Amino acid sequence: MVSLADIQRARKQIAEHVTKTPCVYSEKLSRITGCKVYLKAENRQVTGSYKVRGAMNRLLNLNEEQKAAGVVAASAGNHAQGLSRAAQMLGIKAVIVMPTTTPLAKVEGTKSFGGEVVLHGYGYDEAYQKAIELQQEHGYTFVHAFDDPDVIAGQGTIGLELLEQVPDLDAVVAPIGGGGVISGISSAVKALKPDVRILGVETENLPAMKASLAAGKVTPLPAAKTLADGISVSVVGSNTFEIAKKYVEKVVTVDEEEIANAILYLMEQEKTVSEGAGAVAVAALKHHKLDELQGKTVVALISGGNIDMNMISRIIERGLEMNGRLSRLRCVIADRPGCIAKITKLVADHGANIFDLSQSRPASDVALGQAEVDLTIEARGKDHVAEIVASFKENNIRVI
């Protein structure tokens, strides 16, 4: 187990190398959730995530022989960048094995910090096996992404900061992948303020910690694709499992639409960029997975902001679709002059905007003399779209 002394020692070691990130009160999210919500912005680290804390602490604890040999790690992206940054600052060679599915932004970010990138495997577990092979072949020191005590202690420094930044703290909501950050935070917070509740959030597609806690032992799950690639881990750590079993009160899950919506919310309302894994704590609060926290002072950890720009556009579109602000409709109209103009006028009369429109004639499932019209509209929300659909029907425009 990781002790408070370990975390306090880590804080002194890494203080000059990492950022003490802001913990900002969110009036909007507090209003939505009924909690007093603060956002801990670990996406503001130089590397874009909290991972540099644990990586730096681990490297500072290496002996001279280990530093000379270099280090190797497996990572979906954030640990890769954190370790590369730490190694670059300390003059240590770092080799990072990353899954072939890793977002380009994280691959390029790792290279920019001096890491030597090896792309291998579909997910973290295959990358991990390759990293072990390289360790044995070259004599590197393996730096685990989440299950190393030094790494856990480094992540635990977030917990010390939270207690200083939010003295009346009642609960911490943090993402769980392998379990490193929630283990570190809970070890620090529970040692100093045992009444603070620790709650974890996983992606519904890969709830490895939730499954392990339910089974009472580390339980592997099949690999799965998720927007929250930073917590796409199918086997939690043995150390992190034991700490979570002791300190984590509850683990909830969020689905892909909820994650996308949270990313969109953070960009639009909180003016901050978060990756999928970084947004899951906000997703859980916003989508009422933790309503028992109403009236409490809560910190939601935004663990990282390393998101691919191409993915952002897809997530924005998905988030807009989820809340009804972007909707696709297929209508059947008479194939004669003025009918499309009728559709566009109805949309305009309701204060919505047509983003895209296309007509198809003939279509297999419509009668002769009719045509299908596909349109994408920008609206205020689902109720607004329902009003538009109702007006179409009132004007004899069939909506499929």
Spot the catalytic one: 36, 51, 130, 210.
Answer: 51
DSSP string, 131-181: HHHHHHHH-PEE--SS--HHHHHHHHHHHHHHHHH-TT--EEEEE-SSSHH
Sign of CA dihedral 227, 229, 232, 236: negative
Spot the catalytic one: 26, 183, 234, 303.
Answer: 303
Cα end-to-end span (Å), the chain = 59
Does the annotation count 51 as an active-site position? yes
**Distance from C-alpha of 394 to C-alpha of 352, rounded to nearest angstrom:** 17
Residue 95 near residue 118 (C-beta atoms within 8 A): yes
Does the annotation count 250 as an active-site position? no
**Distance from C-alpha of 175 to C-alpha of 202, rounded to nearest angstrom:** 6
Phi-psi region of 100 (alpha: psi -120 to 50; beta: other; left: phi over 0): alpha
**Distance from C-alpha of 170 to C-alpha of 158, rounded to nearest angstrom:** 16
Dihedral pair phi/psi, residue 96, rounded to 5° = -120, 125
**Distance from C-alpha of 368 to C-alpha of 309, rounded to nearest angstrom:** 45
Residues 6+ apart with CB under 8 A from 31: none
Active site residues: 51, 303
